[in-house]
Each structure stands twice: as C-alpha cells, then as structure tokens.
Amino acid sequence: MKQFAVIGCGRFGSSVARTLYGLGYDVLAIDEDEDVIQNISDSVTHAVQADATDEASIKSLGIRNFDVAVITIGSDIQSSILITLIVKELGVKYVVAKAQNELHAKVLYKIGADRVVFPERDMGVRVAHNLVSSNILDYIELAPDYSIVEILALKDWEGKSLSELNMRARYGINVMAIKHGAEINISPNALDTIRKDDVLVVIGHNDDVQKLEKKA
C-alpha cells in the first residue's frame, strides 16, 4: 500500500489528504500552522506541525520512506520550490507540486517534480463551461476536441426513447449514462425513455457539445 505525505494543508492540501485517507491509505499531513494541524488530525494517519523548508525537521519525520509527496503550498513560491527540492533530494520517488502559474510550474519540473497541478485554474475552466449553459452540470475534457458533459434533459426530450431521439444523428453525441434522481443507468439502451429532470451523461466533439449548450 502506497504511503503519502501531504505538505501544506490549505483548502487543496487538506482535501487531498482527507480523500487519500478516506480511500484507505496512510497519510502524513504537515503544516506549519498549529490550528490547521489540529483541524486535520482526525482525518489523517499522522498530522505534524513543522516548517517543511527546514530540511532537518522533515528528514526526522522519515519523509524518504514515503512513496508520494504532495506539496500544496501555492502562495509562497519560494517555499514551494525549496520544499520540492528537499523532498526530491531526500529520495521521495514521486513528487506532486501545486503551482501558482506556468513559470512556477517550469521551475518545479526543472528541479524534479514529477507532476505539477493547477487546481484553481483547472476548476475555473470547468466552472466556466458549466456556466455558459444552465443545462451543463459537469464537464470533463477528454482530448483537446472531445468532452464528456452532464446535461439536463431538454424539455422536448421528455417521454421519448433514445432510439426516437437518435442523439448520434441529431446532435453528434453519444449517451453514456442516464441519471434519474438517485438512480443511475450506466448501460442505457435504445428503448430507455427520458423522464423530466433526468440528467444525461454524454460524450462528443466540443463543437457538437457547444451546440447543445446553446439550446439551454
């Protein structure tokens, strides 16, 4: 079982730490803020108050025995870079770091980060796509030109079967799942009928998805 160290437990870091622990993994959470550590201590394996830019102190936590370190300090770019360098040198195999911007990301990769993430930027893209159409509920970019979207059934789809609607021919999209309240049908077939307030999970080319967004 992989062991994770999460360094910095702000909004992003604490969510990563709690989720990993919830999935059953060992998680060491480190933050310099005592209150933050108090808050997260019940949701991780170990929570330790420490300044991670102090090499001796994170070395003494046995950081080199962890498979993955996630460095989530966004605002203080200098600390984020220094900590990435330290954990990489101490021998952590896989280091994920949060970046503020492209330049920050470039430096992180140069000094050995294996993956750089931009949580706010990525979620901004998602939320924007959500907003342009009140019927698009969630959104995932599959490839530069293809997306999966959750879409609220249009009024004139109600009471019709998938074969009647013929989404592929009419809109260029495929229906992959239909949600009806708490139920979800992950193998919809031609005879399944759309009901009011159903949410369809569809896959398609962005141009086709955008045409559908505009029908909302």
Ligand X SMILES: Nc1ncnc2c1ncn2[C@@H]1O[C@H](COP(=O)(O)OP(=O)(O)OP(=O)(O)O)[C@@H](O)[C@H]1O
Which strand ranges, in their side-by-side order, compose the sheet holding 199-205?
136-143, 146-152, 199-205, 173-180, 183-185
Taking CA 20 as the corner, what is the angle to CA 15 and CA 25, rounded to the nearest 5 degrees? Answer: 155
Helix (H/G/I), strand (E/B), else coil: 51:
coil
Tell me: does residue 54 bind a second copy (CB under 8 A).
no
Q: Tell me the C-alpha distance between 84 and 73, whole Å.
A: 10
Among 16, 53, 107, 133, binds ligand X (CB under 6 A): 53
Which of Ca ion, ligand X, a second copy, none is residue 132 near (CB under 5 to 8 Å by kind)? Answer: a second copy
User: Residue written as tokens 């195999």?
Assistant: 93
* Minimum distance of Ca ion from residue 152's CB (angstroms): 8
Site for a second copy in 89-108 (CB under 8 A): 96, 100
How far is Cα 103 from Cα 109, in angstroms, rounded to an integer? 10
Q: Which residue is nearest to ligand X (CB)?
A: 74
Q: Which residues bind a second copy (CB under 8 A)?
A: 2, 4, 10-16, 18-20, 23, 25, 68, 70, 74, 96, 100, 117-125, 127-129, 131-132, 138, 140, 142-143, 145-146, 148, 150, 168, 174, 176-177, 179, 182, 184, 186-187, 201, 203-204, 210
